[in-house]
Structure 1
Amino acid sequence: MTSFHVLISGGGIGGLCLAQGLRKAGISCAVYESAPGIVNAGYRLHMNVLGGEALRQCLPENLYELYLQTSRRTPKREMSVMLDTQAREIWTRPHIGPPNDGERPHTAVNRRTLRQILATGLDDVLHFGRTAVGYEAGPDGARPLFDDGSSAGGDVVVGADGIHSPIRSQLLPDVHVIDTGMRGMWSIAPLTEDLADVMPDALFDGFAIVTRGDGTIFAIGVYDPRRPISEAVADLAPGAGIDHVEPYVMVTYGSDLGADPTPDMPDFAHDSPEELHAAIRRAMRGAHPGLVELVDRIDESTIAPSAIRYLEVADAWRPSRVTLLGDAIHAMPPSFGAGANSALRDAAALVRALDDAAQGRRPLLEAIGGYEERMRAEVFPIMRASADPDAVHSDHVPDLAG
C-alpha cells in the first residue's frame, strides 16, 4: 500500500502500546481517547512474559528499559499465594503463561506509570477528549465517528476502548457485559520500612489473596520499583511527563466471585472513604498483626469503589476493516492477572498483522482475520477460566492449550 493509516479508539494500555508499535514499524496512526488526560484508575498491574515481551516489541529501547527499571523489584517467589487471616499459607500457584525468568523478569508495574511511559513520544498522534461512538467502514476505508459529529478517515479502525466499547457494540451487538455481582474497593498503603518489617513474608511474593472464609477476600500486591521513578525518567526519558510514585502496597477488599454478599458488607458505591476504611478495619479485626497494621495504614484519599464485570465470549466473526483488542473484546475478571497482559499481547500481534498488510505481504482482511483467529485461540481460554467462580480459590492452573 502506498499509504496506510490506523485509527485507534481508546488510549489505554493496549491502544497506546499499539500506537507505539505501529510508529516503530513506520505505520501512520492516530489515537482518540475520551478522557481529558491519563487519569488515575486502579493501581498495581501484574506483568508476565506475554505482556512484557509485547512491550519489548513495540516500545523504543529507552522506553522499554524505563518500563523494566520502574517495574517492581523481583519478588522472593513469583507466585500467587492464598493465606488465611493469620497469614497461614493455604496454597500457592504459578502465574498463568509461559515461564517468566531471566535477570530482570517481568513483575508488576504501577498502571498510570505504564500508561505515561506508553504515551511518551506520541504527542502528535494522541488526541484527548475525543469519544468515538461508532464507525463507518467500506471496501476502501474506515472511520470512527465522534460524539461531536466529526469523524476521521483511514484504512483500519481499532476498538481499544474498554469493556463498554461502542466500536464492539456496533461490530458484535450480541456480545453482552456480564455483571459478576462482585463489589469492592481499591486502596494503597505507603510501603515504609516499619510497615515492611511487620508484614507477613508471603505478602512479598508475587501476589497474595487473604480469605476470610465468609465470601469476602483481600487482594494484596507490593509495588516497590527497581529504581526510583523520577531518577529513572531523568536518565532514560528526560522531560517525559511521568509522575514520581513512592513504593506502596495495593489493598483491595470485597465480595468473592460467585459469593453472596455478607450482611455486614459496606456499600462500596455510596459509603465515604472514611466509612469504607472503618469497614475494612472491622473485617481485618483479630487477624495477623501485620495484616491489621497494613489495613490501618491505608491512605483514605486512595480508596475507590470497584465492580467486577466481564464480557461474554464472542463467536467467530467475519474480518473487516474494523477490529478489537484488549477489554473491548475479552474483558475478564482479575482472577489470573491476565487482562493487561492480554491487551499488550493483542497490540503486538496486531502490529505484526498490520505491518504484513502495509508491506503487501498479506491482503489486509486476511491479515486482520489471522490476528483475530489467533486471539480467539490464545486469549479466550484464559477469559473463560478467569470467569470460573473457583478460579480464585483453587491452586489449579487451568490447561489453556487449544
Structure 2
Amino acid sequence: MRVVVVGGGIGGLALGSGLRRAGVEVAVFERDTDVRATGGYHITLDGPAQEALRGLVAPEIVERIQASGSALRLRDPDAFWDRRGRFLGQGRDLRDDPSLDIDRITLRALLAEAVGDDLHLGKVVSGVGYDEDGSPWVSFADGSSTTGDLVVGADGAHSLVARFLAGGPTNAPAGIVGFSGRTSVSELSAGERERLGSRSGLVVGPHGAALYLGFLDPVGNAVLDRPELRASVTTGPTFIWGAMFPDSAVTGALRKLRGSTLQAALLAQFRELGWSAKVLEVLEAADPESVAAFRFNAASSRADDLAPWRAGRITALGDAVHATPPTAGMGAGAAIRDAADLVERLGSAVLPSAVEGFEAAMRERGAAVLTAAMGPVRWILFTDTAVGAALTVAAAPILAVASRVLRRH
C-alpha cells in the first residue's frame, strides 16, 4: 500500500511517521520549505494524545518530546483575572495532570525528523481526484503529480482535499480573531513576575476582549529531565500569549499588520477598552517579531455534520475535518489521535472499510473537541453584547472580593 499525505502540519507528520514506522510506503507533501516556519500557540498534549504518539514514533522521539515539554503538574493552577489585574479565581489542581505543553515549532520539527526523507517540502498541491479506475491522484503547482492507494488530506482548516470531498468548505469563521506572541518572563517587571507566577491564565473583559497567557518552561518544568535530549526553541520561562477580539472591521484591519506595528495597535486597542497597564505589560514586553494574527475557524460540533462524504480512497483528518479554535488546547492532540487511529485501522482492515471505521470514530472525536472549544468562544462573544458587557463589568469586583476572602480562609 502507498499512502499520500497532503499537508505537513502536526496531524500530517504524525500520520506520516506512524505509517513509516508500521512499514507502509508513505509520502508527505508540504507547501512550507522549512518545518520551523510556523507560529501559533504552544500545544497541549493530554494523556490520550501522548499515548497515541507513543504508537506513532520511535521511543527516542518520545523521549525528546518529553525532554522538550513543560509539565502541567509542575506549575501552579491556572488563574483568572479581570482587565485591571484583579484576581478572580483559579482553575483545578494540576498535580496529577499528565499533560505537557510544547512549542508548536519544536513538536513539528521532531515529527518531521521521524518522517525523514518521506517528507517532501516546497510542494504546493493544486488538485486532487480519482482516475477512471478509481485510483486517487494529487497534482502540484509545479506541474507534477502522484498517485497512491490512499490520499489523506491533513492540510488544515482551508483544506483543498476536504473541500473536494465535501463539495465546499468544512468550517467557517468562529467570530473571533486571535493575535499571538511570545514574552520571556525575564523581560517582565518584578511585580508582574510575582503576580503572574508560573501558571497559565486568562483575562476576560467587556466587549469581547480577552487575553490568554500560556506559561511554558521546558527547562525548569521539563517532563523528562534530560537536557542532552532537549530540542525546544524555548530556553526559559516564557508566556506564549493569545489576544482575542470579535471579528470586525477593526480586527480585519489589524490582521493586515505585522511585527511591532501590530503590537502597538493591539496595545492601543486594549487601552481604549480600559485595560490596565500592568495587565498589558506582557504584550508590551513581547518579542515584536513573534506577534502575528490569525482568524479562529470552527467546524460544526455535531458529529453527523463532520466528514459529510461517502468513505473512499480519499479522506482527511485534523483541522481539515474538525477545525477547532485554540480555546480548549485540544486541536493538535485530536489530529494526533486521528493519525494513530487511521494507522491502526489500515493495519487491520482493507480499504475502504478501514477508512469508513476511521471516519466514524473521527466524527465523534472531533465533535467532542469542538464542543469543549466552542464554550469559551461563546463566552467571549457574549461579553460583546450589551448585557454581557454590563455583567462582565459588574461581576469583576464582586468576584475579586470573594476570591480574596476565600484565599484568606
Q: TM-score category by the smaller chain?
A: 0.7 to 0.9
1:178-189 to 2 correspondences below 5 Å:
178-189=172-183
Cα distance change of structure 1 residues 250 and 204 upon mapping to structure 2, 3 Å threshold: same
Counterpart of 1:305, as a letter, is A
> Which amino acid in 2 is paired with 1:169?
R
* Among 210, 234, 238, the residue aligned to 1:245: 234
- Partner-residue secondary structure (3-state), 2:137: strand
Equivalent residue, structure 1, for 2:28: 31
Identify the residue that residue 2 of structure 2 maps to in structure 1: 5
Q: Give the TM-score of the pair, scaled to structure 1.
A: 0.81
- Give me the identity figure in percent: 28
Q: Distance in 1 between matches of 2:105 and 2:111?
A: 10
Unmatched 5+ stretches in structure 2: 383-409
Tell me how far apart the structure 1 counterparts of residues 245 and 292 of structure 2 sit (CA, whole Å): 15
Q: Identify the match of residue 55 of structure 2 among 30, 43, 57.
A: 57
Q: In terms of mean alpha carbon deviation, does 242-251 or 180-189 score higher?
A: 242-251
CA spacing shift, 1:57–1:80, aligned 2, 3 Å: farther
1:301 aligns with 2:299: no
How well do the aligned residues superpose, as a CA RMSD in angstroms? 3.3
State the TM-score, normalized to the length of structure 2.
Answer: 0.80
Shift of 1:26: 1.4
What's 1:268 paired with? 254
Distance 2:347 2:13 in 1: 17
**Letter of the structure 1 residue corresponding to residue 128 of structure 2:** Y
Amino acid at match of 2:172: I
CA contact (8 A) 1:266 1:279 kept: no
Residue of structure 2 in register with 1:345 after alignment: 337
Distance 1:78 1:317, change over 3 A: farther
CA spacing shift, 1:279–1:130, aligned 2, 3 Å: closer
- Give CA deviations for 1:276-302 in whole Å, capped at 9, x if unaligned: 333444425976775343233111121
Contact 2:298 2:322 survives alignment (8 Å): yes
User: Are 1:333 and 2:331 an aligned pair?
Assistant: no
| CA distance in 2 between partners of 1:266 and 1:152 (Å) | 38
Q: Determine which of 308, 315, 320 is the counterpart of 2:312.
A: 320
* 5+ long unaligned stretches in structure 1: 357-361, 395-402
Q: CA deviation at 1:79?
A: 5.4
- CA distance in structure 1 between the partners assigned to 2:369 and 2:114 by the alignment: 32
Q: Where does residue 170 of structure 1 map in the other structure?
A: 164
Specify the SS of the correspondent of 1:199: helix
Pairing 1:95-110 to 2, within 5 Å after superposition: 101=96, 105-110=98-103
Residues 199 and 290 in structure 1, CA contact (< 8 A), matched pair in contact too: no
Which deviates the most, 13-22 or 116-125? 116-125
Q: Give the secondary structure class of the aligned counterpart of 1:295.
A: helix
- Say if 1:184 and 1:268, in contact at 8 Å, map to a contact too: no
Deviation for aligned residue 1:390: 2.8
C-alpha separation in 2, matches of 1:319 and 1:266? 37
Greater helix share, 1 or 2? 2
* SS, match of residue 378 in structure 2: coil
Change in 2 beyond 3 A, CA 1:22/1:176:
closer
For the pair 1:208 / 2:166, whether they are aligned, the reply is no
Bigger shift: residues 19-28 or 38-47:
38-47
Compute the displacement of 1:162 (Å).
0.8
User: 1:89–1:57: structure 2 CA closer, same or farther, 3 Å change rule?
Assistant: farther
Q: Does 1:155 align with 2:143?
A: no
User: Of 58, 64, 67, which aligns to 1:66?
Assistant: 64
Residue in 2 aligned with 1:255? 245
**Aligned-pair distance for 1:326?**
0.6
- 8 Å CA contact 1:310–1:332 kept in 2: the answer is yes
Q: Write the letter of the residue equivalent to 2:292.
A: A
Matched ranges for 1:97-136 at <5 A: 101=96, 105-136=98-129
Distance 1:93 1:390, change over 3 A: farther
SS in 2 for 1:270: coil
Distance verdict in 2 for CA 1:82–1:188, change over 3 Å: same
Sort the Cα spacing of 1:279 and 1:51 in 2 relative to 1 into closer, same or farther, 3 A: same
Task: State the shift of 1:9 in Å.
Answer: 0.4
